[in-house]
């Protein structure tokens, strides 16, 4: 693991990059946009090469800037192809992706201990988000599905709260022994954290639903819902919480549990079906 400084969301300040394999290597997350951090990344990979390891490609878990800030320049400098999901490739303007990763793809890595990494398409945080799973080692590369530092943002547009919850359940069912997140330290027994994250999001959804319903036929403005649903969150974090709130509301609208009219939100069990 190499942690590089990136313009990520606080409290995180770094993005973790990983080298997977014992002979052939996959390099995960060409993250740094800062030139000095890019140079540190290149030295890290070249040091492994000098020890007889053989980098095969660079994998992008998704398109957010704190994960692909150095994608084009690092790929060119190291002469390594970029691999990513098609949805990620579409969002990386001017960056050539040599291989489109699909759900279920198997990446075989030779070496003293051979490894097979299975690609898992896990949208929710981002449309093209992928994780990587090595079953025999019990290791799961998590990208931005969960973090051991800070909270993963599900933002409107890029994010989909319903899909995110589905993928949290899917990953938890793998019962991996080690999780490698993009932010924070590696996670022992990641399924425990994945399930806790899933339950926490459902708890928050319940508070959002309650806040909307409490407004009755008057409907609730976004700020009113925010103040009730995130009353346990410091006000300094409310701008970010607002984005998560909007993702929850979008999910509830699709599920026909909430409706909106102008700047107000209504619970559909309040006679507004």
pLDDT tens track for 11-58: 899 999 999 999 999 999 999 999 999 999 999 999 999 999 999 999
pLDDT for res 10? 87
| Burial class of residue 74 (count of CB atoms within 10 Å of its CB; 0-12, 13-18, 19+) | buried
Where does the pLDDT of residue 149 fall: very low under 50, low under 70, confident under 90, or very high at 90 and above? confident
Q: Which of 74-78, 238-242, 267-271 has the lowest mean pLDDT?
A: 267-271
Q: What is the mean pLDDT of residues 231-257?
A: 94
pLDDT for res 150? 80
Quote the pTM value.
Answer: 0.94
pLDDT for res 177? 98
- What residue ranges define each of the domains in the chain, with the CATH number in brackets? 2-188 (3.60.15.10), 203-270 (1.10.10.10)
Q: What is the mean pLDDT of residues 156-170?
A: 96
pLDDT surpasses 80 at 271: no
pLDDT tens track for 49-81: 999 999 999 999 999 999 999 999 999 999 999
């Amino acid at each position: 693991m190499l942690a590089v400084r990136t313009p990520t969301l606080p409290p995180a300040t770094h993005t973790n990059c990983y080298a997977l394999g014992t002979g052939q290597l996959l390099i995960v997350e060409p993250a740094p946009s800062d030139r000095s951090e890019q140079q540190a990344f290149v030295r890290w990979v070249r040091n492994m090469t000098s020890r007889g390891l053989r980098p095969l490609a660079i994998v992008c878990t998704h398109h957010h800037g704190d994960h692909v800030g150095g994608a084009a320049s690092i790929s060119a400098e190291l002469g390594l192809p970029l691999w990513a999901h098609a949805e990620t490739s579409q969002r990386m303007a001017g960056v050539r992706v040599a291989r489109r990763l699909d759900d279920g793809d198997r990446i075989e890595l030779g070496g003293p201990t051979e490894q097979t990494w299975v690609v898992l398409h896990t949208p929710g945080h981002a449309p093209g988000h992928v994780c990587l799973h090595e079953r025999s080692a019990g290791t799961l590369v998590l990208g931005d599905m969960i973090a051991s530092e800070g909270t993963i943002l599900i933002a409107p547009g890029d994010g989909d709260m319903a899909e995110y919850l589905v993928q949290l359940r899917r990953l938890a069912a793998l019962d991996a022994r080690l999780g490698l997140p993009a932010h924070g330290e590696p996670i022992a027994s990641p399924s425990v954290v994945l399930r806790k994250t899933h339950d926490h999001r459902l708890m928050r959804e319940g508070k959002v639903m309650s806040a909307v319903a409490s407004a009755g036929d008057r409907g609730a403005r976004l700020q009113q819902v925010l103040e009730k649903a995130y009353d346990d969150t410091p006000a300094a974090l409310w701008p970010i919480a607002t984005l998560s709130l909007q993702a929850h509301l979008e999910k509830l609208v699709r599920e026909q549990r909430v409706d909106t009219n102008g700047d107000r939100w209504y619970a559909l069990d309040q006679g507004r079906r």
